[in-house]
Amino acid sequence: MLFAVDTESELPIVADVTLSHVNDGDIEPTLMSKAAEASNTNIKFVMMDAGYESVKE
């Protein structure tokens, strides 16, 4: 399960459930698009764990 969280309110903006074989880096663009749309604000900073750094080729 992946979450995008508002650091000010500490509440989730969006959540996404994926299968175990789905790489976090592959889903990151979709998650960020959903977060930007749902938050209705300008996203200034993004922090992610190392799983988002690599995209399968």
11-49: pLDDT as tens digits: 998 988 889 888 878 888 888 888 888 888 778 888 877
Give this prediction's pTM. 0.67
Q: Quick count: other Cβ atoms within 10 Å of Cβ 37?
A: 10
pLDDT of 57 > 80? The answer is no
Predicted confidence band of residue 55 (pLDDT cuts 50, 70, 90): low
Q: How far apart are CA 50 and CA 42, in angstroms?
A: 24
5, 36 from 32: Cα distances, Å: 11, 6
Query: What kind and span of H or E run contains 57?
Result: none
Q: CA quadruple 38, 5, 43, 24: dihedral positive or negative?
A: negative
Token pair, residue 6, equals 């508002």
Tell me if residue 6 falls in helix, strand or coil. Answer: strand
